[in-house]
Amino acid sequence: GAVVSQHPSWVICKSGTSVKIECRSLDFQATTMFWYRQFPKQSLMLMATSNEGSKATYEQGVEKDKFLINHASLTLSTLTVTSAHPEDSSFYICSATRSRLASSYEQYFGPGTRLTVT
């Protein structure tokens, strides 16, 4: 199989605090991980692409200083939402692939993390 886990599955935090979300590929080595954000009843919005050992590539409009991404190993990527605000409340989903090229692989998604900022 190709299993991706996320932790935590849901988190509530106070405005101004930081939250870290972990994404792990459990049974394969992921050269590339993607972080998405999904608002209710909408499709996935790509936030950033993370390759092991290098800096993440952020999509236009995504603040790199606010959404810190670290891909320190082939099985773990983390997303830290710094100084969270209520508008950061959303469903965050990661995915992992075995290849750096989207055209030659299929993405395997984690179960998502529901973040609520109060």
114 binds another protein (CB under 8 A): yes
Please, which of residues 66-95 interact with another protein by CB under 8 A? 91, 93, 95
Binding residue for another protein (CB under 8 A) from 25, 69, 71, 110? 110
x/- letters, 46..65, toward another protein (CB under 8 A): x--x----------------
Residue 33 has phi, psi (to 5 degrees) of -125, 145
Give Cα 58 to chain centroid, integer Å: 11
Spatial separation of the C-alpha atoms in residues 30 and 97, rounded to whole Å: 5
Q: What distance in Å separates the CA atoms of residue 19 and residue 38, rounded to the nearest whole number?
A: 17
Binding site for another protein (CB under 8 A): 4, 6, 34, 41-44, 46, 49, 91, 93, 95, 100-104, 106-112, 114
